[in-house]
Amino acid sequence: MRKIFTLLSLTLFLITACSISTGGELNKKKETSLMLKSEIPKDFIPQNLTVVSVGDSLTKGIGDSTERGGYLPYLKNYLEMEKGVKEIEISNLGIKGNRSDQLLKRLDTAPVLETIKDADIVIITIGGNDIMKVVRENISQLKLEHFDGAKKQFKERLHDILSTVRTANEDSMIVLVGLYNPFFTWFSDLKELNKIIDDWNTMSESIVGTYRHAYFVPIDDLFENYGESLLYSDYFHPNDKGYELIAERLYKELDEEIIDQLAERNFALRKEETER
């Protein structure tokens, strides 16, 4: 009887052990499967993005024959072709003639700050009218030294503009569009204007580099290469082709740098919400 009991006990032990072992292996397989399924591409779930553009007439879209907002409609189309982007919502806060001091004042208003607060990307165009102000005030005898004071003021204001945007939205990507020289038609004999544009762009790029998730996008080479063919009838603002090329340049920068980072950020946020 003892032998039978011992055999029965041993059999039950082996059956139980096998069950535990098999169950453990199955659980491990399930865990592995779940882990693999969680490692999905960051662009697997298309996301909605909000783009806010602030600044001068380049943002407003002066010179755009369609009156749809300059480079922004082109940029929206480009971005919505991205696999990880579902829809782009755009807020155009551009005002014709805005200088850096005027933009800084507008950034201190609740409606503008609230709009920036919800943005994934903030695009800024500013500086062209600061230079234009110097040109108009010294049109009869324009010299390089006339721009020194304006450059110093612009440097200080650009810092304040970027700081205000970053304070309003800690996570947004900030893009500053560089300046181009539209004055070659008016002042073709004043070659120093190219140097002024280059100096201001170099300074702006350096300032942007001190801020997190901020990028400088140059466009002056576009207008150097294509000349008057990219200018509106006022020989100052871009025409339709000019805006399209600006959007294309922005898209290339956003596609390579910013969209990937936004996808990683939003993917991480979704993962955190799932694990809560």
| DSSP code at position 189 | T
Task: Out of 75-84, 142-151, 189-198, 248-257, pick the least confident.
Answer: 189-198
| This prediction's pTM | 0.80
What is the rounded average pLDDT for all residues in the chain? 82
Give pLDDT tens digits for 132-167: 998 888 877 777 788 899 999 999 999 999 999 999
Helices (H), the chain: 2-38, 57-60, 72-79, 100-106, 110-117, 128-137, 148-168, 192-208, 220-226, 240-253, 259-275
Q: Is the pLDDT of residue 20 over 50?
A: no
What are φ and ψ of residue 37, in 5° steps?
A: -65, -25
- The fold of 47-270 is Rossmann fold (3.40.50)
Mean pLDDT for 209-224 is 94
pLDDT digits (tens, 9 = 90+) for 43-73: 556 778 999 999 999 999 999 999 899 999 9
Residue 248, burial from CB neighbour count under 10 angstroms (0-12, 13-18, 19+): middle
Structure-block tokens of residue 222: 């576009």
- State how far the Cα of 149 lies from the Cα of 115, in Å rounded to an integer: 32
Q: In this model, does residue 2 exceed pLDDT 60?
A: no
Q: Which residue shows structure tokens 């936004």?
A: 262
Q: Is the pLDDT confidence value at 223 over 80? A: yes
- For residue 56, the model assigns a pLDDT of 96
